[in-house]
Chains A and B, each alone.
Chain A
Amino acid sequence: MKKMCLLGLILAVACVGFIPAQTTQAAEPVVIGVPTSTGFLEGKEALKAVNLAVEEINARGGVTVGAEKRPFKVESIDIRDAAPGVPVPEALLGLEKIILEKKPVALVVGPFRSEALMAGMDIIAKYKVPLLGTIAMSPASEAKVKKEPEKYKYIFRTCLNAKFLVKYLAGTMAFINKQYGFNKVYIMNQDVAWARKTAEIITKVYFDKAGWTVVGHEAYPTGTSDFSSGLMKVRATGAQVILPIFDMPQSGTLVKQWNAMKVPALLAGFISPLAGPGAWKTFDAKIGGAINCNFEIGSGVYSDKVAKSKAFAKAYEKRWGGPVEAGHGISPAYESVYLLAEAIERAGSLNADAIVAALEKTDRAGAMGRIKFDQGHQVVYDMDPEKAAVAAVLQWNTDGSRTIVFPPTIADGKIKLPAGLKPVK
């Protein structure tokens, strides 16, 4: 009897010791790599958005890989490609490092500069790691995907690209022309691939055809911090609209100088420091009338008409203690994690080719509207959030509030001329 009791006790202890050992063994995390310029606002906030999405997914048990639930884990690296003077090869070292050392199943956010993305596409193709890019914007990467789909099929872009940006900027200019008769524009862009391309395309496909006169065009090297010469030219040429296309922090100086030099022209384009709600304080409440195209709804601005953009904005603010300030790449970074999770679940494995095939079939109502990829693996942006992803053109009001003025499907008001500017018609 004693022996039986002892045997029973040993068995019970063994069972107690064995069962928890099985249940507490955590499933191996699925690593998501975030190689980007984390020292810049867009990179910093995109990383936060990725972490937010990962926390939300993990709170629901993680991502289902085949029959197993596994948590996501984020690994990031600062590749510094957005900083002036950092050569592309240095950024690529960071990209290769995170792939080799952290073994991510996919990368999100990715390079800032299209120059770095274009060069990095071969590294990504070599290691066959899907990338859901959310910042670099040159359409040249899609052309590469279309030209050699088997090699470059791993590269996707969830943010706006330069071609789609032109649609929004052209739409805004058409509104300004129709409402106020303005037809003289001065283009100022950062001297980087996406901004150069945007300026080139909008001139060719809109300004030249719509009867506008481009009275001047300046390309500024990244890091420029004095725009006085350009602004004097704006005044001298009688330009009615300044079209700025910048994503560098120093472009905030352009806004300050536009104010200080009292340039009589409407500022309407993209300047990253103008995108978020904090800009009002940053620019001492002197940006009334300025118009900014936030590249994706949910990045720096949300709309009640796109419920998920509002839900994302509120969740971000609650998690990180402040709103999204960047106007580019943040909601796409958040959505990219969900797109990846859904693709993994559809693929039923972590095989890169299977994930790519599943990503191509994406059709999701997300924070930027409806998300679907085209042949070049670019999310389609258009004017209706029910049918495609959307950007948001907003105007700063004199009381510090903002009104979405374009596209019409999500617009809350029309463009108003700031004090001191008079319509031509």
Chain B
Amino acid sequence: MLIGTTIYALINTAILALMAIGFNLTFGISGIANFAYGAVYILAAYGVWMLLTLFQLPYPVAVLAAVGVNLLLGALIYRFVLLRIRGQALSEVIATFGIGLAILELFRYLGLVGFEYHLPVFVDKSFVIAGTYVDFQRIAIVVFSAVLILGLWFFTHHTAIGLAFRGIAQDERTALTFGIDSNKMATLSMAMGAALAALAAVFIIPLGSISPGEGYDVLIKALAVCIIGGLGSTGGVIAASFIVGFAERFTDTYIGSHWTMIVSLAAILVVLTVKPSGLFGNQKELEERI
């Protein structure tokens, strides 16, 4: 049981990290808390489902199209909505939450609810790892999450755009003096965040089904992970995913399923009490210093 629980805790960690990484990227660079994140995740899932079911497109093409649409949507949200209210945190939250709400409730209004809305798994096989059955999709999630995080690290440390991202994230005004266009970077960060949400949906949705309600769950989980880890910190996302991922699975196995949510929320409270900015965040400390 211990080995099995550890394996599924690792998988849960990877799922949480994959869910949160896009939200974290956008916030880390532009400072925008994209509350439409859960909605764009679901939008991508429905998009892939439609392309597969109604237009019979090959899976990879449908995925690429959905990622592309999300990329564009993220950029458009920034250009036409967020650009005018940039820097007003509450307005940004209200605007993005409103967009998210509109998208999710539109799907609900259109009646896109039911078990027929699901995405196929990549490969329909299970493997035995240390005596525990694990399906290919979950293994794929773990591998993809690891590759994605490494890829993002490489991107932000070894590419011009990535370095510009970090410049804006560290000090926007100084970055401007170096000729880095903060609006352009913020647009890109919104676009990339939305595209990462699409990729997360493509990997995670095949484990269950698509429903508008999932959009709210994803947003809450992404927020929880980012707040524990420290908003904007990739290391924090990884650490928080481990904490929540392991807390959930071990509580489920050794205490009881109905305690899972309580223990996770308690973990959030404990971390925030000890480190108000999250594990790797520094906003509160900076504010206090000023």
List chain A positions with a Cβ less than 8 A from chain B: 38-41, 44, 78, 83-85, 191, 218-221, 223-226, 228-230, 232-233, 236, 249-250, 252-253, 256, 260-262, 272-273, 276, 278-279, 281-282, 284, 325
Contact = CB atoms under 8 A, between A and B. Distances in A.
| Cβ-closest 6 pairs across A and B | A260-B135, A229-B252, A229-B253, A273-B115, A261-B133, A228-B8
Q: Which of B4, B134, B135, B208 lies at the interface centre, i.e. has the most chain A CB atoms within 10 A of its CB?
A: B208
Contacts of B124: 284
A226 B8 contact: yes
B224 to A, nearest CB: 13
Given A252-B115, A260-B133, 9 more contacts: A40-B113, A220-B257, A225-B217, A226-B248, A249-B209, A253-B207, A260-B134, A261-B133, A273-B115
B86 interface: no
B24 to A, nearest CB: 21
Contacts, number: 114
A253 B113 contact: no
Contact of B208 (A38, A225, A228): A225
A218 B116 contact: no
Contacts of A230: 252, 257
Contact of B260 (A84, A224, A256): A224
Given A230-B252, A256-B208, A39 B133 contact: no
A262 B125 CA distance: 11
A406 B257 CA distance: 31
B115 A249 contact: yes
A233 B207 contact: no
Interface string B248-266: 1100110011101100000
A319 B134 CA distance: 43
Given A226-B8, A229-B252, A253-B208, A278 B115 contact: yes
Nearest to A223: B217
Contact of B114 (A44, A84, A218): A44
Given A84-B213, A220-B258, A226-B12, A250 B126 contact: no
Given A218-B256, A223-B217, A325-B114, A232 B249 contact: no
A44 B107 CA distance: 13
B115 A41 contact: yes
Contacts of B120: 284
Contacts of B134: 260-261
Contact of B115 (A220, A236, A282): A282
Given A44-B114, A224-B260, A228-B249, A252 B209 contact: yes
Contacts of B211: 249
**Which one of B132, B248, B257 has the highest number of Cβ atoms from chain A below 10 Å of its Cβ?**
B257
Nearest to B249: A229
Nearest to A262: B133
B264 to A, nearest CB: 11
Contact of B258 (A41, A84, A191, A233): A191
Given A226-B249, A325-B116, A261 B212 contact: no
Contact of A256 (B114, B207, B216, B258): B207
A234 B97 CA distance: 41
Find the residue from B124, B135, B209, B253 having the highest chain A CB count within 10 A. B209
20 contacts: A83-B213, A84-B213, A218-B256, A218-B258, A221-B257, A221-B258, A226-B12, A228-B249, A228-B252, A230-B257, A232-B4, A249-B211, A252-B118, A252-B209, A260-B134, A261-B132, A276-B115, A278-B116, A279-B115, A282-B115
